[in-house]
Amino acid sequence: MDIKAFLKLLNKYKWILVLVPLTAAVITYFLVRKLPKEYASEAQIATGIVDQSKQVVVGSNQNADYFKVNQQFANIIERMKMQRIMSILSYHLILHDLENPKTAFKPYSKIIDSLGSANLQEVIGIYREKLLKKEVLAVGDNHNKFKLYDIVSSMGYDGESIQKKLNIYRPDNSDFINVYFASVNPQLSSFVVNTLSAEFINNYGQDVNANQNNSIELLDSLLKKKELAMNQKTAALKEFKMKNGVLNLDKQSEMVYSQISQNEERKAQAIRDIQSNQKAIADINAKLRGNGDAFMGGNTTGDNKTIVSLKNQLKIANDAYIDGNFKLSDKKKVDSISRLIDRVSARISDNNVTDPQASKQGLIQQKLALETTVSQAQGSIRSIDNELSMLKAKYNTMVPFDAGIQNYERDAELATKDYMTSLDTYNQNKTQQNVALKLQIAQVGLPGLALSSKKVMYIALAGISSFFICFFSVFILFLLDHTINNRQQLAYATKSPVLGHLNYIENTDRNIRNIWKDNKDQEYSTFKDLLRSLRFEVAEAFAKEGKKILGVTSLEENEGKSFIAGSLVYSFAMMGNKVLLIGGETKVPMSDSKEIAMRQDFQSFLVKREIQIEDLITVLNKNDASSSLLEMQNVNSLKKGFEVLKEQFDVIVIDVDSLKEINKAKEWLLFTEVNIAVFEAGRAVADEEKELIKYIREKPGFIGWVLNKAKLA
């Protein structure tokens, strides 16, 4: 953005930027000079949300949730702004004024004055009834006998009007909610904040209690259902146990399984004893068979027969003992026979101390004892097998009950847990109801002093806002203005160098001779200086490659290219150069040698190849009626003609047709060596001109643009 151009535009509209804010401030002054004073009142409500001293903490978690606390305060503030609460406040305000006309906060409106005394009492009764029912005041109340909403609205007591001056907020993360209201009556301000606070606390408490009671009733009903379900599941479990004779299936099955394990261990031990004793008997038999001759003789034959007989009896008695389910009488008989065998064996041993027959008798005695032990073990195995069969049968009868009882126990357990969860929720809600949030008025609103006047603020705001409106209007105008007024803008728009600019001359009777000779007029002096600068740029371009022919064109007609071409001719002549102007604008007499002389015809020159050379400036007039330069002669002939002119003149300036007539301009530009384009300041580049700019920019020999008719500060 061009800051200088923007500042110039601001300077152009400076009086608007001054007068409009001043006018707005003056008008605002007259509008607010009779503005009544306002009185504010503020009440404060203690919530107990963050005040730990007012809370009954259940459990050990006392950390406050910041977002939850903010949400609670936001909910309370929004509930205070509800239409129902605002309607209650509106009823209190209108009833106060209607019932107490002498102490009314505001003068009666025209609607109230139009009511008679009878109608007024009826209206009071309606408002009182609506207050008791806590009905919302709405526009629909105008459809009744009396326009109840309009009556309240005419006094400024409707919810929308009250909320314009009402501010409910939580100060600095405290435990309080402040209710602020400002009005032209200090008593009204105090009444609004106190009534709103009291009514809200009352309604809030009722709403909370009603909600909690509804929740507790719902939870109580749910708790009873859970308790009934728990009792039914428990009763079903009990009935199943009683029906199947199971007191504690887990413990009973565990005991039976333990007994089975013990009996299986006893059976295994008996089998091990039998096997070891049978091995010992086999060893004794081997000894007896191998040493039969050593044990011959002795008087033990009778005793041996007695022992054999007793052992047979012992076996019979032992079998009877086992088959008789281990009766005590059978046990005594077995013990008696065993003692007789021991006594006979001892006698045989005493009688054969030194007799070889005694050793044989000892082996026989051991064999008999081992055989007795084997017989007892075999008998016990049979008893153990019977007991195992009985225990396994009992255990197998318990297995089908296990799946069924597990289902009953699981259902009973789930029902109990569900009931306990509901009971905890019920107890928690009961506790919260007892220790619920209790709002209290911590500080009532009192009538306050008059607030500082806002007249100065309104006046300043009017002036400042109008100033910025004007400022941004000028700024938008600047952004939307695409006109080109300086060299930088022209260079940016054409993406080409700008050789210079020439100032705008207001005198309509301008003449290059008068401009050049006048040293008093500031515009003429500036024009001459800028023209000299442009001449220097062109002369430098000529000197680089030995060029002589300059083409001057423009985007459109009437941009001043002809005047600039004649001015350049005059300025080069002032340097003592012989200059030829083809076309151009000439309005000077011939008396001065440095003036533009009588013009000759360029078409005649092409035919005769003769030209009358004046002192310094010679003019060849273009044939405007000719539609095409190339229709006069071919390109080669034209080039030879220009070669003749280059030999006779130091500088040749051609006033080329505008690029708008692109067909003529292209033909003349074939013979120019250096080209410049003129652009008139104060206009924008049209879309169709962008292609022409691109054409001249890419043309060989184009050295830049000249900004004409520029307005200098």
Residue 34 has pLDDT above 60, yes or no: yes
Residue 369 has pLDDT above 60, yes or no: yes
Q: Taking Cα atoms as reference points, which of 162, 170, 240, 246 lies closest to residue 404?
A: 240
**Judgement on whether residues 30 and 41 belong to the same structural domain of the protein:** no
Backbone φ and ψ of 655, nearest 5°: -80, 90
Q: Taking Cα atoms as reference points, which of 561, 576, 555 lies closest to residue 654?
A: 561
Higher pLDDT, 647 or 59: 647
**Judgement on whether residues 426 and 285 belong to the same structural domain of the protein:** yes
pLDDT tens digit string along 75-112?
889 988 999 899 999 999 999 999 988 889 989 888 88
Mean pLDDT of the chain: 80
| Maximum CA extent, the chain | 199
3-state secondary structure (DSSP) of residue 659: helix
Distance CA 603, CA 606 (A): 5
Looking from the CA of 66 toward its CB, the CA atoms found within 13 Å total 1
Residue 155 has pLDDT above 80, yes or no: yes
- Residues near 447 by Cβ (< 8 Å), separated by ≥ 6? 39, 41, 186, 187, 189, 190
Backbone φ and ψ of 521, nearest 5°: -70, 125
pLDDT band (50, 70, 90) for residue 58: very low
DSSP annotation of 293: G
Residue 292 has pLDDT above 70, yes or no: no
The answer to the question of residue 231 being in a domain is: no
| pLDDT of the residue at 530 | 92
Annotate 212-269 with three-state secondary structure: HHHHHHHHHHHHHHHHHHHHHHHHHHHHHHHHCCCCCHHHHHHHHHHHHHHHHHHHHH
| pLDDT of the residue at 586 | 45
Annotate 328-369 with three-state secondary structure: HHHHHHHHHHHHHHHHHHHHHHHHCCCCHHHHHHHHHHHHHH
**Judgement on whether residues 274 and 335 belong to the same structural domain of the protein:** yes
pLDDT tens digit string along 200-230?
888 887 877 776 667 767 777 777 787 787 7
Q: Taking Cα atoms as reference points, which of 702, 699, 708 lies closest to residue 678?
A: 708
Lowest mean pLDDT among 144-148, 289-293, 308-312: 289-293
CATH number of domain containing 680: 3.40.50.300
Q: In the chain, what is the straight-line distance between the N-terminal and C-terminal CA atoms, in Å?
A: 19
pLDDT tens digit string along 595-614?
444 557 777 776 666 676 66
Asked if residues 128 and 95 have their Cβ atoms less than 8 Å apart, the reply is yes
CB 436: neighbour CB atoms within 10 A?
A: 15
For the chain, the domain total comes to 4
How would you label 562-586 residue by residue, b for 16+ Cβ within 10 Å and e otherwise? bbbbbbbbbbbbbeebbbbbbbbbb
The answer to the question of residue 447 being in a domain is: no
User: What percent of the chain has pLDDT above 90?
Assistant: 16
CB 508: neighbour CB atoms within 10 A?
A: 5
Residue 655, beta-bridge partner list = 552
CATH number of domain containing 275: 1.10.287
CB 688: neighbour CB atoms within 10 A?
A: 9
- Residues near 345 by Cβ (< 8 Å), separated by ≥ 6? 307, 361, 365, 368
The answer to the question of residue 328 being in a domain is: yes
| pLDDT of the residue at 553 | 93
Residue 149 has pLDDT above 50, yes or no: yes
Lowest mean pLDDT among 182-186, 253-257, 517-521, 553-557: 253-257
| pLDDT of the residue at 272 | 78
**Judgement on whether residues 317 and 184 belong to the same structural domain of the protein:** no
Residue 450, beta-bridge partner list = 39
Q: Taking Cα atoms as reference points, which of 147, 183, 148 lies closest to residue 163?
A: 183
The answer to the question of residue 82 being in a domain is: yes
Select the highest-mean-pLDDT range: 139-148, 267-276, 333-342, 429-438: 139-148
Residue 184 has pLDDT above 90, yes or no: no
pLDDT tens digit string along 480-504?
878 888 888 889 889 999 999 988 8
In the chain, what are the helix, strand and coil shares in percent, each to the nearest 5?
Answer: 65, 10, 25
Residue 238 has pLDDT above 50, yes or no: yes
Lowest mean pLDDT among 365-374, 511-520, 592-601: 592-601
Asked if residues 166 and 180 have their Cβ atoms less than 8 Å apart, the reply is yes
Choose the final residue of a domain: 476, 505, 534. 476
**Judgement on whether residues 164 and 45 belong to the same structural domain of the protein:** yes
Backbone φ and ψ of 468, nearest 5°: -70, -35
User: What percent of the chain has pLDDT above 70?
Assistant: 81
- Residues near 444 by Cβ (< 8 Å), separated by ≥ 6? 43, 190, 194, 197
Query: Which residue type is seen at 241?
Result: K
Higher pLDDT, 65 or 688: 688
**Judgement on whether residues 309 and 197 belong to the same structural domain of the protein:** no
**Judgement on whether residues 472 and 502 belong to the same structural domain of the protein:** no
For 100-186, list the strands marked E by DSSP: 166-169, 176-183
| pLDDT of the residue at 296 | 44
Distance CA 414, CA 420 (A): 10
Query: Which residue type is seen at 379?
Result: G
Strands 498-503 and 702-710: parallel
**DSSP one-letter string for 606-636:** HHH------SSEEEEE--TT-S-STTTS-HH
| CA angle (314, 316, 320) in 5-degree steps | 115
Residue 297 has pLDDT above 50, yes or no: no
| pLDDT of the residue at 401 | 56
Residue 683, beta-bridge partner list = 484
Distance CA 331, CA 326 (A): 7
pLDDT band (50, 70, 90) for residue 352: low
Lowest mean pLDDT among 211-215, 550-554, 660-664: 211-215
**Judgement on whether residues 335 and 402 belong to the same structural domain of the protein:** yes
**Judgement on whether residues 9 and 69 belong to the same structural domain of the protein:** no
| pLDDT of the residue at 432 | 60
The answer to the question of residue 5 being in a domain is: yes
**Judgement on whether residues 412 and 525 belong to the same structural domain of the protein:** no
- Residues near 488 by Cβ (< 8 Å), separated by ≥ 6? 2
Choose the final residue of a domain: 368, 399, 433. 433
3-state secondary structure (DSSP) of residue 443: strand
Single pTM value for the model: 0.47
pLDDT tens digit string along 412-463?
777 788 778 877 776 776 666 554 557 888 888 888 777 777 788 888 999 9
| pLDDT of the residue at 281 | 80
Strands 549-554 and 651-655: parallel
Higher pLDDT, 21 or 622: 21
| pLDDT of the residue at 180 | 92
Distance CA 309, CA 301 (A): 12
The answer to the question of residue 233 being in a domain is: no
Looking from the CA of 315 toward its CB, the CA atoms found within 13 Å total 13
Strands 549-554 and 674-680: parallel
**Judgement on whether residues 566 and 612 belong to the same structural domain of the protein:** yes
**DSSP one-letter string for 276-291:** HHHHHHHHHHHHHHHT
pLDDT band (50, 70, 90) for residue 593: very low
**Judgement on whether residues 472 and 358 belong to the same structural domain of the protein:** no
The whole-angstrom distance between residue 655's C-alpha and the CA centroid of its chain comes to: 68
Distance CA 459, CA 464 (A): 9
Distance CA 615, CA 597 (A): 9
Both tokens of 288, joined, read 């007896």
The answer to the question of residue 95 being in a domain is: yes
Q: Can you give the residue range of the structural domain that contains 531?
A: 487-710
Both tokens of 152, joined, read 């309240």
Distance CA 46, CA 662 (A): 86
The answer to the question of residue 268 being in a domain is: yes
Q: Indicate the Cα dihedral angle 272, 277, 282, 284, nearest 10°.
A: 150
| pLDDT of the residue at 287 | 74
| pLDDT of the residue at 54 | 55
pLDDT band (50, 70, 90) for residue 702: very high
Q: Taking Cα atoms as reference points, which of 184, 183, 185, 149 lies closest to residue 167?
A: 183
Residue 33, beta-bridge partner list = none
| pLDDT of the residue at 192 | 92
Choose the final residue of a domain: 398, 417, 433. 433
The mean pLDDT of 673-678, rounded to a whole number, is: 93
